[in-house]
């Protein structure tokens, strides 16, 4: 059945595609060899691949081959610190939305956050990801001081703290932040605004452009299986991420949270999420693609399946104790009751068990930032 995919991919190469997005930014940091080799899949062929449950294994194998060819066998680990679940936003799908009165809120103080990062660096992590809800207690000044402290541990610093102003993104970058993660969630603007009527898709998109322009490595991504989301819109999402030239793309299944307005919706689209991720690898062959926690939350081997279908990054949670249970974006989050050391050793064993290696460098997409 590999034949089917090869034929499809040959066919789609000749198609030309007009993109809906005009990017004002230059792509000087893009790896041009990878860009030339990226499969020029048309929207129609992406939709066919997304719909094709029968040939899923062929698609994942193809993505695995491309992954090996472009980024090798190393799996890069990122130490994820979930430092505050306080959020000013009210996204319908999210367990830490401000309207969820059941959520027990917490926020680490800056010293505790820096200490958690110090421990993670001591465990060997070369990247620290700081993630939180949009918690404005973390002013630009506070955030910059934290970044400066954590940079002393010889790690790449990734921020995932949502929408901020250009000045703030600039200040974080100057303080030493290397990378920024912010998912676009969906490129279907109507759906996006239904999922959070108070937010603006355009504003989020502009934030992504600012982050890129400031020289961060940019990670974005989407959720799969949202109510009313179509295969056509997922194909648009993939082409959007390709056009934006993201350095990392996180793709995870939507999992309904019982204390949100979407509690009764159907979730759990693990296989569709895996196929989406595999196609992402074909469209952007040399980027970083995480095996997401949401995939592992739906299946005990979810991350292994992802690593064997195009992924090359895992983000183990290094948050301590009670906090990791309280950062409940969705229920049943893998590792919620674990501790950092044990969680990391399980992840390490899984990587070795499938014949892969644990990355030893900073593991960025571009070699320019740190891996000189």
Q: What residue ranges bind ligand 5AD (CB under 6 A)?
A: 93-94, 183, 185, 223, 252, 254-255, 257, 294, 329-330
Of 343, 277, 267, whose CA–CA distance to 308 is shortest?
A: 277
**Element counts in the chain: helices (H) and strands (E):** 15, 9
CA distance 104 to 83: 14
Of 73, 71, 100, 70, whose CA–CA distance to 85 is shortest?
A: 100
Tell me whether residue 147 or residue 255 sits nearer to ligand 5AD (CB atom). Answer: 255
CA distance 177 to 163: 15
Residue 199, C-beta contacts closer than 8 angstroms, at least 6 positions apart: 89, 91, 192, 193
Of 370, 366, 283, 368, whose CA–CA distance to 30 is shortest?
A: 366
**Is the CB of residue 335 less than 8 Å from the CB of residue 317?**
yes
Tell me whether residue 93 or residue 205 sits nearer to ligand 5AD (CB atom). Answer: 93
Tell me whether residue 92 or residue 114 sits nearer to ligand 5AD (CB atom). Answer: 92
Tell me whether residue 123 or residue 199 sits nearer to ligand 5AD (CB atom). Answer: 199
Calculate ∠ Cα 211-214-218, nearest 5°: 40
To ligand 5AD, the closest distance from the beta carbon of 122 in angstroms equals: 26
To ligand 5AD, the closest distance from the beta carbon of 331 in angstroms equals: 8
To ligand 5AD, the closest distance from the beta carbon of 340 in angstroms equals: 19
Tell me whether residue 216 or residue 254 sits nearer to ligand 5AD (CB atom). Answer: 254
To ligand 5AD, the closest distance from the beta carbon of 140 in angstroms equals: 21
To ligand 5AD, the closest distance from the beta carbon of 191 in angstroms equals: 13
To ligand 5AD, the closest distance from the beta carbon of 45 in angstroms equals: 26
Tell me whether residue 47 or residue 94 sits nearer to ligand 5AD (CB atom). Answer: 94
List, edge to edge, every strand of the sheet that includes 127-132: 79-84, 127-132, 156-160, 179-181, 217-224, 248-253
To ligand 5AD, the closest distance from the beta carbon of 152 in angstroms equals: 27
Give residue number: closest CB to ligand 5AD.
Answer: 330
CA distances, 114 to each of 111, 146, 148, 164 (Å): 5, 6, 10, 21
Tell me whether residue 210 or residue 222 sits nearer to ligand 5AD (CB atom). Answer: 222
CA distance 344 to 350: 10
Tell me whether residue 223 or residue 311 sits nearer to ligand 5AD (CB atom). Answer: 223
CA distances, 129 to each of 10, 70, 134, 313, 321 (Å): 39, 24, 15, 13, 18
CA distances, 167 to each of 80, 200, 206, 261 (Å): 25, 19, 13, 34
Tell me whether residue 31 or residue 288 sits nearer to ligand 5AD (CB atom). Answer: 288
To ligand 5AD, the closest distance from the beta carbon of 99 in angstroms equals: 13
- Identify the H or E element spanning 84: strand 79-84
To ligand 5AD, the closest distance from the beta carbon of 330 in angstroms equals: 4
């Amino acid at each position: 059945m590999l034949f089917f995919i090869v034929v499809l991919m040959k066919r789609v190469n000749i198609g030309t595609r007009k993109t809906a997005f005009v990017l004002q930014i230059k792509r000087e940091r893009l790896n041009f060899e990878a860009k030339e080799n990226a499969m020029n899949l048309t929207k129609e062929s992406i939709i066919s691949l997304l719909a094709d449950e029968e040939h899923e294994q062929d698609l994942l194998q193809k993505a695995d081959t491309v992954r090996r060819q472009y980024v090798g066998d190393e799996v890069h680990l990122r130490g994820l610190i979930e430092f505050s679940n306080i959020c000013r936003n009210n996204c319908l799908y999210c367990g830490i939305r401000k309207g969820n009165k059941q959520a027990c809120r917490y926020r680490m103080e800056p010293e505790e956050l820096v200490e958690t990062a110090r421990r993670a660096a001591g465990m060997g992590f070369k990247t620290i990801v700081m993630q939180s809800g949009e918690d404005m207690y973390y002013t630009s000044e506070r955030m910059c001081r934290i970044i400066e402290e954590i940079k002393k541990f010889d790690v790449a610093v990734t921020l995932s703290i949502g929408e901020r102003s250009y000045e703030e993104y600039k200040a974080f970058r100057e303080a030493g932040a290397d990378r920024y993660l912010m998912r676009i969630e969906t490129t279907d603007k109507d759906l996006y605004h239904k999922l959070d009527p108070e937010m603006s898709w355009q504003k989020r998109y502009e934030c992504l452009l600012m982050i890129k322009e400031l020289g961060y490595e940019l990670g974005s991504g989407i959720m799969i299986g949202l109510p009313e989301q179509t295969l056509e819109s997922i194909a648009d999402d993939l082409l959007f991420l390709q056009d934006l030239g993201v350095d990392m793309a996180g793709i995870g299944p939507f999992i309904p949270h019982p204390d949100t307005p979407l509690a009764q919706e159907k979730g759990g689209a693990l296989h569709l999420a895996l196929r989406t991720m595999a196609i992402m690898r074909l469209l952007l062959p040399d980027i970083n693609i995480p095996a997401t926690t949401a995939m592992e939350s739906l299946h005990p081997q979810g991350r292994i399946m992802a690593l064997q279908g195009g992924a090359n990054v895992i983000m183990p949670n290094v948050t301590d104790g009670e906090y990791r249970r309280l950062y409940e974006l969705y229920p049943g989050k893998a590792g919620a009751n674990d501790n950092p050391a044990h969680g990391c050793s399980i992840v390490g064993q899984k990587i070795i068990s499938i014949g892969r290696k644990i990355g030893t460098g900073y593991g960025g997409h571009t070699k320019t930032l740190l891996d000189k």
